[in-house]
């Protein structure tokens, strides 16, 4: 039955990914899909998806039930919202919940969410100062009532976006996704002769909870503290955490972290919980299914009004700038307790590319492209292996194909390659960032939107491992650009994006010589780094470079 549930939610997620209009969903998997029991407890999640989406959405069905009691629901109902404090984290993520019925008896729920490219609001995502500036805001509403679409609500959604076809298409995609999951769940229950999910749900949740508690029992007990500096915008932001392992639970308290900011990277507590739980799960629950039971022993607290427990109407559209850094902070605590299982710091925040500009020269009013693609930096090294390069850890979002990005705009990407020497040197090397260079293919400027981190505070290495290279953003014509904001790229100029690398672990001079030679041969490190940082003999290094030149 468990295997069938996983098949149900994975088909649900694949249906969403195949039919989504938003490129970040279709190409990069920025979504979540899951099945819940009749009490709103998450039973299983799809493999396809991200921790920020799924662990936030784990709370969303409970909020729907609070607003629409179970006895008021009927077959054909679908509920929609994008309230950041009700399990989405920011308004660009829209969540749909569909109650599932067998013979008019409610047996459970299918839920999903995904990122929509445009829901109105400010173009410059760095400029919002409250949530009302961040586009369409939907409380928990019934978008389908007994099988009848709420056309008025759909018209409101259509009227509040610059991309009405794509946005409405994504809403239909989300509805279809849950419908597929519901049909497959009913088929599964019929196959196994189930009238309800209660017994199966209790088994899954109780077994998962016990498995996590057994893993926690193997860990040392105590409290450990860590802090992390974030670039921020006007000034750096400090995050603090105290992690306590005791009595079958792991609790992370963020007291001492910065207060809410007037900028828009404040974080609702649901998103803080999402990435804290994920970080803990990577270490103590990586082989245990992610559901209400396995999440229960992992708890979070933060002072109300802090940057990691923002209250409405705080601006939160870029909550990922803080949320995606929380795993490094949690790992900073765990490193003191179980150092052999914890990575060095990594790039954390995705270096997503968003751009808009005219389709033609001269421009015609109202005819412009708006496009985005996911790009990434390097993951921190682990004590037993190198960090992954150009990988979206901890988000789980895949890098998007440049060909799709180019096909939806007038932009041309001239270069996309690993950024040499960006991975922090170590016995185990940090993952590399990448270099991307792009320009407009027509004789017009375009706007480049960015929200980057790790440009001031690089990913730290540990145990004599070196830090990764900080990120950098510049124009080819000269001059560095700020890591947050909207930049005008003049016609004929190019923007150069250099994403950060992950930190290393251990003394670089203790790195296996075969690995150093392989990195040199593959262009991941320079000859200078091989000699000066890794201690490779200059003669051996020159021989290796000459050999590579001979072989093309």
Burial of 467 (0-12, 13-18, 19+ CB in 10 A): buried
The predicted structure's pLDDT at residue 398: 87
Structural contact between residues 121 and 128, judged by C-beta atoms closer than 8 angstroms: yes
Q: Can you tell me the distance from the alpha carbon of 434 to that of 170, in angstroms, rounded to the nearest whole number?
A: 30
Q: Are residues 141 and 287 in the same domain?
A: no
Looking at the fold, whether 233 and 324 belong to one and the same domain comes out as yes
**Local structure of residue 329 (DSSP, 8 states):** H
Which DSSP string do the residues of 232-301 spell out, in sequence order?
-SSS-EEEEEEEEEETTEEEEE-TTSPBP-SSS----HHHHHHHHHHHHHHHH-TTS--SHHHHTTEEEE
Q: Is 267 part of a structural domain of the chain?
A: yes
pLDDT of residue 549: 47
Do residues 237 and 122 share a domain? Answer: no
State whether 173 and 90 are in the same domain. yes
**Does some domain include residue 467?**
no
173-207 as b/e: b if 16+ CB within 10 A: bbbbbbbbbbebbbebbeeeebeebeebbeebbee
Q: Kindly state whether residues 72 and 171 are assigned to the same domain.
A: yes
pLDDT at 538: 67
Q: Which of 341, 376, 396 is the last residue of a domain?
A: 341
Residue 32 belongs to domain spanning:
2-196
149 and 224 in a single domain? The answer is: no
| 43 and 90 co-located in one domain | yes
Judge residue 514's burial from the number of C-beta atoms within 10 Å of its C-beta, 0-12 exposed, 13-18 middle, 19 or more buried. Answer: exposed
Q: How far apart are CA 110 and CA 8, in angstroms?
A: 10
pTM, full prediction:
0.94
Question: Do 72 and 173 lie in a common domain?
Answer: yes
Are 28 and 143 within one domain? yes
User: Given strand 434-440, what is the order of strands in its sheet?
Assistant: 411-418, 434-440, 494-498, 472-475
pLDDT for the residue 543: 58
Instruction: Tell me, yes or no, whether 189 and 248 share the same domain.
Output: no
* Domain presence at residue 36: yes
With b for 16 or more beta-carbon neighbours within 10 A and e for fewer, the 331-348 pattern comes to: bbbbbebeeebbbbbbbb
- Does one domain contain both 121 and 59? yes
DSSP line for 426-439: SSBPPPP-EEEEEE
Task: Let me know: does 473 contact 450? Beta carbons within 8 Å.
Answer: yes
Domain stop point among 309, 341, 373: 341
Is 372 contained in some domain? no
Of 341, 371, 387, the one marking the end of a domain is 341
Q: Does residue 313 form part of some domain? A: yes
Q: What is the pLDDT of residue 4?
A: 95
4-48 confidence digits (pLDDT tens) = 999 999 999 999 999 999 988 998 999 999 999 999 999 999 988
Number of domains in the chain: 2
Instruction: Report the pLDDT value the prediction gives residue 544, as an integer from 0 to 100.
Output: 60
- Are 142 and 283 contained in the same domain? no
Torsion of CA 130, 135, 141, 144, to 10 degrees: -170
State how far the Cα of 441 lies from the Cα of 412, in Å rounded to an integer.
6
Residues 120, 461: Cα–Cα separation, whole Å: 40
Residue 79 maps to a domain: yes
299 in a domain, yes or no?
A: yes
For residue 404, being part of any structural domain is answered with no
In this prediction, the residues of the chain whose per-residue pLDDT falls under 50 are 549-550
Whole-angstrom distance, CA of residue 463 vs CA of residue 501: 17
């Amino acid at each position: 039955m468990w295997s069938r549930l996983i098949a149900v939610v994975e088909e649900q997620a694949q249906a969403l990914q195949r039919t989504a209009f938003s490129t970040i969903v279709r190409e990069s998997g920025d979504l979540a899909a899951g099945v819940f029991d009749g009490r709103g407890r998450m039973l299983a999640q799809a493999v396809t998806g991200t921790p920020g989406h799924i662990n936030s959405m784990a709370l969303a069905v409970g909020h729907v039930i609070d607003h629409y009691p179970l006895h008021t629901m009927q077959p054909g109902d679908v509920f929609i919202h994008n309230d950041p404090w009700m399990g989405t984290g920011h308004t660009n993520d829209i969540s749909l919940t569909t109650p599932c019925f067998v013979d008019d008896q409610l047996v459970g729920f299918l839920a999903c969410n995904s990122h929509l490219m445009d829901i109105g609001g400010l173009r410059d995502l760095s400029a919002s100062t409250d949530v009302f500036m961040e586009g369409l805001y939907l409380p928990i509403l019934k978008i389908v009532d007994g099988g009848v679409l709420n056309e008025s609500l759909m018209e409101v959604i259509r009227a509040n976006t610059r991309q009405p076809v794509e946005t409405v298409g994504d809403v239909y995609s989300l509805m279809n996704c849950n419908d597929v999951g519901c049909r497959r769940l009913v088929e599964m229950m019929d196959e196994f002769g189930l009238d309800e999910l209660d017994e199966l749900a209790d088994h899954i949740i109780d077994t998962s909870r016990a498995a996590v508690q057994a893993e926690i029992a193997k860990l040392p007990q105590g409290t450990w503290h860590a802090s992390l500096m974030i670039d921020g915008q006007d000034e750096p932001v400090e995050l603090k955490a105290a992690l306590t392992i005791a009595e079958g639970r792991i609790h992370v308290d963020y007291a001492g972290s910065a207060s809410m900011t007037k900028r828009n990277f404040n974080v609702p507590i649901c998103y803080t919980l999402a990435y804290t739980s994920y970080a803990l799960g990577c270490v103590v629950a990586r082989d245990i299914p992610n559901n209400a039971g396995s999440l229960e022993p992992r708890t979070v607290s933060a002072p109300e009004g802090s940057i990691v427990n923002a209250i409405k109407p705080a601006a939160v559209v870029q909550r990922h700038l803080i949320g995606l850094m929380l795993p490094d902070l949690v790992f900073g605590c765990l490193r003191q307790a179980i150092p052999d299982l914890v990575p060095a710091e990594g790039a954390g925040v995705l270096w997503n590319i968003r751009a808009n500009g005219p389709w033609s020269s001269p421009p015609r009013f109202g005819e412009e492209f708006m496009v985005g693609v996911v790009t990434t930096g390097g993951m921190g090294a682990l004590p037993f292996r190198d960090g992954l390069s150009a990988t979206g850890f901890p988000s789980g979002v895949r890098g998007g194909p440049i060909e799709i990005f180019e096909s939806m705009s007038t932009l041309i990407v001239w270069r996309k390659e690993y950024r040499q020497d960006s991975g922090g040197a170590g016995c185990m090397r940090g993952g590399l960032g990448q270099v991307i260079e792009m320009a407009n293919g027509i004789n017009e400027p375009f706007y480049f939107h960015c929200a980057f981190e790790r440009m001031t505070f690089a990913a730290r290495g540990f145990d004599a491992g070196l830090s990764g290279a900080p990120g950098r953003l510049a124009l080819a014509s000269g001059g560095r650009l700020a890591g947050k904001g909207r930049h005008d790229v003049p016609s004929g100029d190019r923007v150069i994006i250099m994403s950060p690398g992950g930190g290393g672990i251990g003394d670089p001079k203790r790195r296996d010589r075969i690995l150093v030679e392989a990195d040199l041969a593959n262009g991941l490190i320079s000859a200078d780094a091989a000699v000066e940082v890794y201690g490779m003999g200059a003669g051996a290094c020159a021989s290796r470079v000459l050999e590579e030149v001979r072989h093309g």
